[in-house]
Chain A
Amino acid sequence: MNEFFTLMKSELLVTAIIFLLLFIKIGKGMKNESLLSLVQVLLLLNFIAGFFFNKTGNLFGDMFYTTPLIAFQKNILSLAVYLISLLCSDWLKKTGHLPEFFMLMLSALLGMFLMISSSNLLIFYLSLELATIPVAAMANFDLEKKRSSEGAMKMILSSAFSSGILLFGISLLYGTTGTISFPEITAQLDGSSVQILAFIFLVTAFAFKLSIVPFHLWTADVYEGSPMAVTSFLSVVSKGSVAFIFITVLYKMFQPMQDMWYTLLVILAIATMLIGNLFALRQQNIKRFLAFSSIAQVGFILVGISSNDYMGIAAVVYFVLIYVFSNLAAFGVAAVIAEHTGKENIDDYKGLYKTNPFLSWILALALFSLAGVPPTAGFFGKLFLLTAGGAKAAYWFILVAALNMIISLYYYLRVVRAMFMDKNDNPMEPIKVSPVVKLALVICGAGIIMIGLLSWIFEYIKSLH
């Protein structure tokens, strides 16, 4: 019993917060401001609690397992959710259904926690659905906007489609191996053609969730339509969690087929980086721009995953941690600007530095970090991903990835140029950033600068093995 509480503490804490919100909703209710502060405090506590009592162990007959590394991965997601609740507080205060919004978001987070911890196809599938369906509902939260509903619709349809493919893959796997537990499947894999088909279906489902090319088409529309809080949740938390379980599935379950998935990953990584980058070049809307940039970033994550050793895992976890700060900073600034002025186009950012130096610097830092330019943390993150990917001496693969960094620099610089260099006769008014949002942006900015230079963070992740 004691083990149950320590091993599942993250899940239990999140569940407790969900129930608390439920009681508040059916009880007297609270004002939005006070409820938001309460949730922010609870999320912070949840994040801090994640550092304690991290053990390795199994529960429910090997369906659920956790290690300090998995606990750390969950903590990154908790941190991201906490930062989102701070960054988007202006929008959240105004929304009419705050308890519901957080209930949905935390349910999705709960699903992701269970998904990362799953060691069985059944619980994996269930938690994946739990992590997806609430997000689709959240995407529809700008009730009066047509685009929001459109995005939600696209998301739910593509999710349903990918779930179908996933289930088909699972059924084929079960048919050939007679089991749904990860370790037992590994023992039964013999590389027969049915199993290869099952493997391809499984990877396809992951590719949908991670928006790997050619399964990325839903991404930009959903990102554009959803409220900024949901977009940032999708691009950071959702992507991160699926990347983590993707690693587990490849490294543990499909280890016997490693030659096959290495080739597959190389092809997918190159296609994803290239297409993501090339499409990002021409975007005008900042959300679509960040959507394609996040597709390209996933391509780099795949480069790291291809290494098939612990360096790959550490590099991906480290990169996702940095990505949380960089991407949330970028989305945070975009959210503040969209909330106060309603402007979402890159052209509207012209001359931003004159009127809003703080926001410009944070956005510039975030973009440099995404581009992988030192001294920001993104440099270290990208470099370690490439180091992990280079372990197989595939220099040309690293060269392609490195050349993609140049393309990405070009479009990130486009935004920087708009803010700092381009002239604008009527630039945006000076925006008064509320203290909470400012705090969150400063945290993100500090994270972007410090995480790379504080090398013990990476050493800590490496030591979790």
Chain B
Amino acid sequence: MNLLLLIGAPLLTAVAVLFSRNKQQVRWISLLGSIVQIILAFALLFAFRQERAENNSAQMLFEQNYKLFDSLNINFHFGVDGISVAMILLTSLVVVAGVLVSWNVEKMTKEFYFLLLLLGLGAYGFFISLDLFILFFFLEISVIPKYLLIGIWGSGKKEYSANKLALMLMGGSALILVGMLGLYFIAGHSFDILALSKTDIPVNIQNLLFPLLFVGFGVFTALFPLHTWVPDGHSSAPTAGSMFLAGISMKLGGYGCLRVATYLLPEGAKEYANIIIILSAIAILYGAFATMMQKDLKYINAYSSVSHVGFSLLGIGMLTQTAITGALMQMVSHGLMTALFFAVIGMVYDRTHTRMTGEMGGLMKVMPFISTVFFIVGLCSLGLPGFSGFVAEMTVFMGSWENADAFHRIATIAAAMSIVVTAVYILRATGQTMMGAIKNESHLQLKDAAWNEKLAAIILVAGILAIGIAPGWLNDLLRPAAEEIMNRIAGK
């Protein structure tokens, strides 16, 4: 399969949106384009499984290499392994759901969809790049659309949040940039990930570059204490913006932490693994307790994102194959779950015009569909078996437990404690908003989800259930790729 299609499809859609004449056209073109992206992503999944079934054991499949800046050895080098395929699948699902829930955006519709599609484009390009320069290029592409989406279509203190997000992410990029250039010069002028993974990088250089790269990507994925843009950014963004931010953009950081920092600099990863574990355990607990204090639904999900993403980083820090597989599963699972959560919160807000849990109540009676989805996503978030959250978190814990010393055990137990706290805030929020008597009489007139919202929710719920009930296929995708990374860490 030609991977350029994955960049071409969103690009063509975005250009077509620019040239469309009215809002209705914009919406339908975007929807069509994102459906094409889903088809491509599934085609990629099946083509990938087909190749693996035929015992094609190359690390990267469907590789393509075009010269870009030849004299600097910068190439358009693309290829996918299981991790990339899973992430692309996640991206395509979130993109189509995001397009669907934004159906009623009336303010500057054309620009809105253009920026949304551009964000998706950046993610696709990022996940298929095997050249650090191109990877960085795609990572950075998404910063400005995020800024504009929050600043123009957001709510609350949107200018502040947009600025904070753009500057913090740029700060992360600056660190990545330095680390990347360091790798480039060490490896004899190459940005190629596959070539770099075969280079022996001196341990002292690894110890120097690893923090730069890991913290740089960590900013994108809410590494404690650099998570502060997450609550503000997510809660100020428009619905689709939050979905993209939490569902896709935060995964860019996690993917980078693993693929670039950990994979290319294994000695550095071993050196700093304990610090990563401590920071992520703090993030998990801090995020969970901070969520308890929130009354705004978007803040609830934003802080719980900090907590959930902590599991991904914890898995990476544990440096065992199972834990890394779990970390990757958590990225996919959390991407679907948090996108769905933001979508539902957006639907509720569009109707009730409040996000405060205290001002709602009994919504189950007036909006059964939305409330049911709210329940599903809540249960997924607290890790109920049958949903994706359970599979992912369980795998992380099992992987973490493989490290037999006291430090790792304590960190694992501490992280596992957060599940109790999660259950408390999720059940409380659901109870306050969905159950009980209707507090506000005007809420009686509210309508349930429209077709576009139902479709978006169904797509994401299907993804969550597909992982929760039959996790085997995702495991088959991720485990061999995680093994490859472990081999490099073990020095094989």
Q: Give the chain B neighbours of A409 by CB distance below 8 A.
A: 166-167, 170
A395 engages B182 (CB within 8 Å): yes
**Count of chain A residues with a beta carbon within 8 Å of a chain B beta carbon:** 32
C-alpha spacing A413/B170, complex, angstroms: 12
A406 engages B170 (CB within 8 Å): yes
Q: Give the chain B neighbours of A399 by CB distance below 8 A.
A: 174-175, 178
The 8 Å CB contact of B144, one of A373, A398, A402, A458, is: A373
C-alpha spacing A424/B70, complex, angstroms: 48
Q: Give the chain B neighbours of A383 by CB distance below 8 A.
A: 133, 177
Once A375-B137, A375-B141, A403-B174 are accepted as A-B contacts, the answer to whether A417 and B70 lie under 8 Å apart by CB is no
Specify the chain B residue showing the minimal Cβ separation from A384: B72
Once A390-B181, A406-B167 are accepted as A-B contacts, the answer to whether A421 and B174 lie under 8 Å apart by CB is no
C-alpha spacing A26/B140, complex, angstroms: 56
A387 engages B184 (CB within 8 Å): yes
C-alpha spacing A379/B67, complex, angstroms: 19
B185 at the A interface (CB under 8 A): yes
C-alpha spacing A136/B162, complex, angstroms: 42
Q: Give the chain A neighbours of B244 by CB distance below 8 A.
A: none
A374 at the B interface (CB under 8 A): yes
Q: Give the chain B neighbours of A417 by CB distance below 8 A.
A: 151, 159, 162-163
A406 engages B174 (CB within 8 Å): yes
B431 at the A interface (CB under 8 A): no
Q: 1/0 per residue B161-198: CB within 8 Å of A?
A: 01100110011011101100110110000000000000
C-alpha spacing A417/B141, complex, angstroms: 18
Within 8 A of B (CB), among A369-414: 373-375, 379, 383-384, 386-387, 390-391, 393, 395, 398-399, 402-403, 405-406, 409-410, 413
The 8 Å CB contact of A462, one of B71, B143, B177, is: B71
**Interface residues of A: mostly helix, strand, loop or mixed?**
helix
A421 engages B140 (CB within 8 Å): no
B177 engages A402 (CB within 8 Å): yes
C-alpha spacing A387/B136, complex, angstroms: 14
A421 engages B158 (CB within 8 Å): yes
Once A420-B152, A421-B151 are accepted as A-B contacts, the answer to whether A455 and B208 lie under 8 Å apart by CB is no
Q: Give the chain A neighbours of B159 by CB distance below 8 A.
A: 417, 421-422
A455 engages B152 (CB within 8 Å): no
Once A417-B159, A417-B163, A455-B68 are accepted as A-B contacts, the answer to whether A374 and B137 lie under 8 Å apart by CB is yes
Once A399-B178, A421-B159 are accepted as A-B contacts, the answer to whether A368 and B170 lie under 8 Å apart by CB is no
B147 at the A interface (CB under 8 A): yes
B478 at the A interface (CB under 8 A): no
C-alpha spacing A236/B8, complex, angstroms: 36
C-alpha spacing A416/B67, complex, angstroms: 34
A393 engages B167 (CB within 8 Å): no
The 8 Å CB contact of B174, one of A387, A390, A402, A420, is: A402
C-alpha spacing A417/B166, complex, angstroms: 12
Once A399-B174, A417-B163 are accepted as A-B contacts, the answer to whether A393 and B68 lie under 8 Å apart by CB is no
C-alpha spacing A409/B143, complex, angstroms: 11
Within 8 A of A (CB), among B122-159: 133, 137, 140-141, 143-144, 147-148, 151-152, 158-159
A402 engages B178 (CB within 8 Å): yes
A184 at the B interface (CB under 8 A): no
Once A379-B140, A395-B178 are accepted as A-B contacts, the answer to whether A459 and B71 lie under 8 Å apart by CB is yes
C-alpha spacing A391/B208, complex, angstroms: 17
Q: Give the chain B neighbours of A421 by CB distance below 8 A.
A: 151-152, 158-159, 162
The 8 Å CB contact of A405, one of B67, B162, B174, is: B174
B451 at the A interface (CB under 8 A): no
B69 at the A interface (CB under 8 A): yes
Q: Give the chain B neighbours of A416 by CB distance below 8 A.
A: 147-148
Within the complex, the shortest CB–CB distance from A144 to chain B, in Å, comes to 39
C-alpha spacing A398/B174, complex, angstroms: 9
Q: Give the chain A neighbours of B140 by CB distance below 8 A.
A: 373-374, 379
C-alpha spacing A102/B166, complex, angstroms: 43
Q: Give the chain B neighbours of A374 by CB distance below 8 A.
A: 137, 140-141
Specify the chain A residue showing the minimal Cβ separation from B151: A421
Within the complex, the shortest CB–CB distance from A250 to chain B, in Å, comes to 22
What are 24 A-B pairs at a CB distance below 8 A?
A374-B140, A374-B141, A383-B177, A390-B184, A398-B181, A399-B175, A403-B174, A406-B167, A406-B170, A406-B171, A406-B174, A409-B167, A413-B147, A416-B147, A416-B148, A417-B151, A417-B159, A420-B148, A420-B152, A421-B159, A422-B159, A455-B74, A458-B69, A459-B70
